[in-house]
Amino acid sequence: MSSVPSAWNPDQYNRFAAEREQPFWDLVALLAPADAPVVVDLGCGDGRLTAALHDRSGATSTLGVDSSPSMLAQAGGHQGPGIRFVQADIATWTGEGYDVVLSNAALHWVADHRRVLRQWSEALGPGGQLAVQVPANADHPSHIVLQTLAEEWLGSRAPADPVATNVLAPAAYAELLHELGFASQQVRLQVYGHLLSSRTEVVEWVKGSSLTRFKGVLGPDEFDRFVAEYRRRLEHALGDREPYFYPFKRVLFWGQRPG
């Protein structure tokens, strides 16, 4: 696989399920109605939202793709008529004849978005739609502190791009959609404001996502010490604010192929 998302913990990720879910529904709202579409959800996680997408879009068939065994174990519970899940790397995934290729909060785990998005686009038939949501919060202290700590603590052992600086600017995704031949498109940066009970909750948030990149590199004891040091530095950086308002930026983009 192209990254090391080996340590996903669905329960930790879903501690903030409501906050993480809103961008998914904002992304789905970008889709034009389609008649019994064939859908793929790339980086589908635990499959709960894949199943919701299947129902909402009236899909004939929906495929969920993920690399994480722990996420796929949960996704199995959502398998049923028209919905199935496979283990594969979304960085190298290819398909054909899809009406909708959707990816929520997963593209930032892989490098070279231009190459990967070209590949995903090639899976679409005429009139097909690409819809992607990707976090773009690398300039928030929650990510800056993590990046600095990773470099100091791990040096060359640090996972590649732990805070997803690979995410492009919104305008770059717009240009790319144009280059890839999408006839219509929508691209936006949206700030989701999350009111967390304390600044420590930011650590719990990051434990469900970016920090999972470190579990595969550090052993359990060292991981706990790493998180403790991250918490200490982040609390210092964020100051003494309770509740803590966590602004989280995301890029949402959608394009539709000519019919």
Ligand X SMILES: C[S@@+](CC[C@H](N)C(=O)[O-])C[C@H]1O[C@@H](n2cnc3c(N)ncnc32)[C@H](O)[C@@H]1O
Which of 45, 128, 159, 162 forms a contact with ligand X (CB under 6 A)? 45
- 196 contributes a contact to ligand X by CB under 6 A: no
- 109 contributes a contact to ligand X by CB under 6 A: yes
Question: In 65-167, where does DSSP find H-type helix?
Answer: 69-75, 113-121, 141-154
The total number of residues written for the chain in this structure: 259
- 206 contributes a contact to ligand X by CB under 6 A: no
- 130 contributes a contact to ligand X by CB under 6 A: no
Which of 27, 39, 106, 202 forms a contact with ligand X (CB under 6 A)? 106
- 129 contributes a contact to ligand X by CB under 6 A: no
Which of 57, 104, 137, 210 forms a contact with ligand X (CB under 6 A)? 104
Asked whether the beta carbons of 226 and 149 are under 8 A apart, the reply is: yes
- Least Cβ distance, residue 86 to ligand X (angstroms): 10
Question: Largest Cα–Cα distance of the chain, in whole Å?
Answer: 55
Residue 104: is it exposed, middle or buried by C-beta count within 10 angstroms (0-12/13-18/19+)?
buried
Which of 110, 174, 177, 217 forms a contact with ligand X (CB under 6 A)? 110
Element (H, E) at 101: strand 98-104
| Residues 64-93 close enough to bind ligand X by CB under 6 A | 66-68, 71, 89-91
Q: Among 37-45, 169-177, 197-205, 225-233, which window interacts with ligand X (CB under 6 A)? A: 37-45
Question: In 122-188, where does DSSP find H-type helix?
Answer: 141-154, 170-179
Which of 27, 39, 44, 234 forms a contact with ligand X (CB under 6 A)? 44
- 3 contributes a contact to ligand X by CB under 6 A: yes
Those residues whose C-beta lies under 8 Å from the C-beta of residue 183, and which sit 6 or more positions away, are: 256, 257, 258, 259
d(CA 224, CA 215): 9
Q: Which two tokens stand for residue 83?
A: 């919905």
Nearest CB to ligand X, comparing residues 37 and 208: 208
Q: Which residues here bind ligand X, judged by CB under 6 A?
A: 1-3, 5, 8, 24, 43-45, 49, 66-68, 71, 89-91, 104-106, 109-110, 209
